[in-house]
Amino acid sequence: MSRRTVRVAAGQGFWGDWLEAPVRQVEGGPIDYLMMDYLAEVTMSIMQKQKSRNPEAGFARDFPQVIERILPTLVAKDIRVTSNAGGVNPRGCAEAVLAAARRKGLGVKVGLVSGDDLLPRLDELLAAGHELRDMDTGRPLADIRDKVLSANAYIGMAPIAEALDLGARIVVTGRVTDTGLTLGPLVHEFGWDHDDWDRIAAGTVAGHIIECGAQASGGNLLRDWRKVRGLADPGFPIAEVSDDGSFVITKHAGTGGIVNVPSVTEQLVYEMGDPTNYITPDGVADFTSIRLAQRGRNQVAVSGITGGPRTPMLKVSIAWFYGYKAVGTLVYSWPDALEKAQAADRILRQRLKDLGLEFEQVLTEYVGVNATHGPLAGEASPDLPEVQLRVGVRAREKAPVERFTREIAPLVLTGPPSVTGFAGGRPQVEEIVAYWPALIDRRAVEPHIKVEILEA
Amino acid sequence: MPVKKRATSTMPLQLRYLAHARSGDKGDTANVGLIALEPEHYPLLVNEVTVARVARHFRGMVKGVERFELPNLNALNFLLHGALDGGGTISLKTDAQGKVFSTALLRMEVPVPAALARTLLKRPAP
């Protein structure tokens, strides 16, 4: 058994995360891998929308840009990168990375993982009896087939480990799980068997802890939040993993934020379901087996993790066109701010009714009173300095939502007094792309997964 | 018949003095991980933060509650079903992703031995 550790550093927790983080991770201290997670449930659908307008789009453009910035350091320090930045166009993303490498005059091997995209095969799969029922409602996908915008299977770490085995410095994928981006390098480095369930679970938990970036190292930390220092330059988390599957969560010296048992625990419970049954394509992890211990300043030791065999099914992320929504806001001031906002809401609703507009839902919230905790916030103070009226509407048709966006500004001169905060102009009509989670037999996906090595 | 007196008197205390929390979403379900501030208070959370109490706390706001125990992390995990008005991109709510159901749960009061409650109230809540 090797005594060395493998250091996997988080560089991005979602598409839109802090752009400086990956730069800090490769320059701020020793790491072996930079792991960049870009994909949330709705991200694939946004990328699909971009690709339908421009076939060369459909991936996180931030990624090749940051690679161009850090590539000299990656090469000099022999750091390798795993990322699902490829979205619905991993090939386009890989080619953009190669173009960036050529501009820098640096040779680089890029691993391209494809095969998660089920959209080109969707009718074939449905015809073969894969119903792709919504895991929450039980409806078969056939009900909305004509509205489907994207369909991607969540695939695991195996193709990432394979691309690294083949010498890739940068591995670009589509819908690989967030945790697979961390587990892949560990399986490649330590040669873990794909059915060594406890180690697979351990690498998965390491991935879960670092996949949301600074959310494990002091960002969004509720406990003692005032005592978290230096968040202007937060240290993103790093997992230092040993061959036995135990690991230490830490961050680079000299960075802000904090790594302690509370910060790691808050991230462990984030988006959790049944803790004994954390399912990924690679295996099932038992979160009730995790042992945490503060080892030193900004060092939390994680051990004891057990897991079980992978399930025969893979989760599928399907995005479909649902309809339209818009949100309008206005701000009312003291005195009687809430009463004025409530009066404005009544007038607005009457006008929408008089215009004969039909909506699936009209939702009113009063920011400063009940927008985050609803009725639990209790009775509002009569002396509130201001209240924001926030009205949202949703419909399957665009026309009523479009008309709604023109009914906010008129309230300024035709409604209750002491109103402001309308300088942003009319609300925007947004297209709603909804999420349809389903399961598919992994045998219908795995033969299509492909690993290629491209070279600049 | 004389009513038997309870051994210790209790008083209601907000969970913010006993726990910290983080929440997230999966579709129309919000999850709240509730973590004891001190390991010795975890059994109190297990006994007092019941499914029935949490369902009553969020009445009208959620359609169902499930609870899981993580004694290794001194934490309870709650699933609040139907909490997000459709969830994801469909929801019109400010908190469509359920990010602050965590602090909404910390508003809940549970009965705590009076002496303990008085001690905890003297500390600044996190």
Tens digits of residue pLDDT in A31-45: 999 999 999 877 888
Place of tokens 């996190």: B126
- Decide: A357 and A405 in contact? Cβ < 8 Å: no
A-B contacts (CB, under 8 Å):
130
Cβ contact B33–A393 (<8 Å): no
Phi first, then psi, for residue A253 (nearest 5°) are: -60, 145
Q: Say what the pLDDT of residue B124 is.
A: 74
* Residue B87 backbone phi and psi in degrees, to 5: 80, 170
Asked if the Cβ–Cβ distance from B89 to A393 is below 8 Å, we say no
A contact residues 257-286, partner B, Cβ 8 Å cutoff: 262, 265-276
Q: Compute the mean pLDDT over every residue in chain B, rounded to the nearest whole number.
A: 93
User: B28, B90, B101: best mutation site toward chain A, by most A Cβ within 10 Å?
Assistant: B90
What is the distance in angstroms between the Cα of B25 and the nearest Cα belonging to chain A?
A: 6
Q: Do A288 and B60 touch (CB under 8 A)?
A: no
Phi, psi of A107 (to 5 degrees): -80, 135
Helix orientation angle between A158-165 and A180-190, rounded to the nearest 10 degrees: 50
Tell if the pTM clears 0.90, that is, is over it: yes
Distance from first CA to last CA of chain B, Å, rounded?
45
* Position A269 confidence tier, pLDDT thresholds 50, 70, 90: very high
Q: Which of B38, B58, B92, B107 is the mutation pick for testing A, counting most A CBs within 10 A?
A: B92
Q: What pLDDT does B8 receive?
A: 76
Instruction: Give me the pLDDT at residue A425, please.
Output: 83
Quote the percentage of chain A above a pLDDT of 90: 94
Q: Which residues of A258-282 are buried (b: 16+ CB within 10 A; e: fewer)?
A: bbbbbbbbbbbbbbbbebbebbbbb
Tokens of B123: 């500390």
The answer to whether A392 faces chain B, any CB pair under 8 Å, is yes
pLDDT band at A9 (very low <50, low <70, confident <90, very high): very high
Min Cα separation A437/chain B (Å):
9
Residue A299's Cβ-count burial label (10 Å; 0-12, 13-18, 19+) is middle
User: CB-based contacts of A334: which residues, under 8 Å, 6+ apart?
Assistant: A383, A384, A385, A386, A418
CB atoms inside a 10 Å sphere around CB A312: 10
Q: pLDDT category, B3, cuts 50, 70, 90?
A: low
Orientation of helix A197-210 relative to helix A261-268, angle to 10°:
100
The alpha-carbon gap from B104 to the nearest alpha carbon of chain A, in Å, equals: 6
**A287: contact with B, CB 8 A cutoff:** yes
- Distance separating alpha carbons of residues A397 and A395, to the nearest angstrom: 5
Positive or negative, the CA dihedral A102, A108, A114, A116 is negative
ipTM of the complex: 0.95
Measured between alpha carbons, how far is A83 from A35 in angstroms, rounded to an integer? Answer: 6
Residue A361: closest C-alpha in chain B: B92
Question: Does A287 sit within 8 Å of B95, measured CB to CB?
Answer: no
A272/B88 Cβ within 8 A: no
Residue B35 contacts residue B75 (beta carbons within 8 Å): yes
- Interchain proximity A372–B104, CB inside 8 Å: yes
The mean pLDDT of A430-447, rounded to a whole number, is 95
Cβ neighbours for A366, distance < 8 A, ≥ 6 positions apart: A338, A341, A342, A380, A387, A388, A389, A390
Q: Say which residue the tokens 């690991």 belong to.
A: A247
Residue A1 has pLDDT above 70, yes or no: no
DSSP B67-80: EEEEGGGTEEEEEE
Taking CB atoms and an 8 Å limit, are A374 and B26 in contact across chains?
A: no
Is the predicted pLDDT of residue A86 greater than 60, yes or no? yes
Contacts of B74 in chain A (CB under 8 A): 265
Determine whether the interchain pair A272/B31 forms a contact, defined as Cβ–Cβ distance below 8 Å: yes
Q: Is the pLDDT of residue A454 over 80?
A: yes
Q: What is the mean pLDDT of residues A174-201?
A: 98
Distance from CA of B47 to the nearest CA of A (A): 19
On the question of pLDDT at A52 being above 70, the answer is yes
Task: Quote the tokens at residue A22.
Answer: 């990956």
Candidates A272, A288, A401: best to mutate against B (most CBs of B within 10 A) is A272
- Residue A204 has φ and ψ, to the nearest 5°, of -70, -45
